[in-house]
Amino acid sequence: MNTAHRRVRRRGIAMVLVLSAVAATSVLAYALLTSASMQAQVTNATADRIQRKYLAESGLNLALYYLQNPTASPVSLVYGTNGNIHYPGESNVVVPGMSGTLNIAVSNSANGIFDITSVATLDSVTTTAYSQVQLKKSRVFSSAANLKGNVSLTPLTIINGGVITDGTLNKGLALVNGLVTAVNGLLFGGNTYPSGTSLSYPMTAFYYMPFYFYDGKRYTAKSLPANVVTATLLDADTVNNPQNVWYASNDVKFLSSTTMTGTVVVKRDLTLQGNLTVTPKTGMPSLIIGRRLEMSGALRNLTSNGVTYLGEEIRASGLTGTSTISVSGAFIAGQSGWPVDGFAGWMFLSHNSSRSTLSGFADEMETINSVNIRSWEIDNARPK
């Protein structure tokens, strides 16, 4: 009896040992499987994190490209809060060859400065990239007359410093000293006009008024009355209007002779019943006219010593051949053709390299001089 009992007991101990070994093996196998699964998950998570990072940075690069090349933007440009027309960003952007989507937002935090936020989403997890960039822009005109379309100059026209147009040029009896750049420019010793003219209506000059931007700061222009009778236009507030800019949203008439150092911006028509001489301060345009310039009466003289923009045409009433228009800097025509309708007086257009820069008044015309990346950072991943 005792012997049998001892044998059964040994069998029980052996069974326990076997079961323990099996259990240990199972636990070890499970641990190995769990470790492999965790390793795979970690690998996948790492790959996703890296892909989200690359995707978010791709959004920053994409926004930076469209800020530098606004005409390539796939969405409508917007007027920024600080004087710049810019690419605003997009939602649900898909980058070829990459999983996930992008939401890009761009804001104009200061003049010439843009804040970019790029949010990459992959498997319901987001990674955000941030960047602040500064773009310095200006437009330096290299020709005395910057025109559009097919142009036939009037006889009493003298141009010193060249002509550029994206159409043909017929000089006729006019005198042109300098390079002629036009579609048929080779007929006059010039070159073929490069494709892609960027002359357009300077919307920024009117959209932000009475505010204007100079050297990255915002200032306030002085209101120009409908009828100007003063001999000198000078804003005494040099803190808020250091460049002495005067602006009118409607038609303006100069009823007597006026001389000023500063800038005149008229959104509609400008009529001269006297003489006007405008000399801008450094880096500023002298005269921007949204629509027509009319020389009313006899012996009217306009002298603009800087960048001069005319949206439409020059008209004249009275003795139309006795008035004179002189521009020393750069003349820009907003409409196609030679902008003369009834004006038969002399026009003197001369290029002046020290007064041919348009900066801050026609953002869409200006080109980028430099790009400064002020910050570039990636946030940690966050659940969506």
Summarised one tens digit per residue, pLDDT across range 231-260 is: 889 898 999 999 999 999 999 999 999 999
CA distances in angstroms from 352 to 23, 67, 226, 356, listed in the order given: 94, 30, 31, 6
CA 312 to chain CA centroid, nearest Å? 24
Answer for the pair 174, 158: CB distance below 8 angstroms, yes or no.
yes
Whole-angstrom Cα distance, residue 91 to residue 372?
25
- Please answer whether residues 117 and 128 qualify as being in contact, where contact means their C-beta atoms are separated by less than 8 angstroms: yes
pLDDT of 56 reads: 94
pLDDT at 186: 42
- Supply the pLDDT for residue 307: 94
Residue of 325, 286, 319 whose CA lies nearest to 302: 325
Count of CB atoms situated within 10 Å of the CB of 235: 18
* 251 DSSP 8-state letter: -
* CA 297-303-308 angle, 5° bins: 110
Confidence band, pLDDT 50/70/90 cuts, at residue 318: confident
Give the per-residue pLDDT at 370.
Answer: 87
Q: Is the pLDDT of residue 9 over 70?
A: no
Q: Above 80 in pLDDT, residue 85?
A: yes
- Could you give all domains of the chain from N- to C-terminal order, each with its CATH number? 61-137+370-383 (3.10.450), 142-355 (no CATH)
Confidence tier at 109 by pLDDT (50, 70, 90): very high
Residue 178: which region, alpha, beta or left (left: phi > 0; alpha: psi -120 to 50)?
Answer: left
Looking at the predicted structure, is the pLDDT value of residue 22 above 80?
no
Residue 106's pLDDT is 98
Q: Find the DSSP H helices in 196-263.
A: 203-207
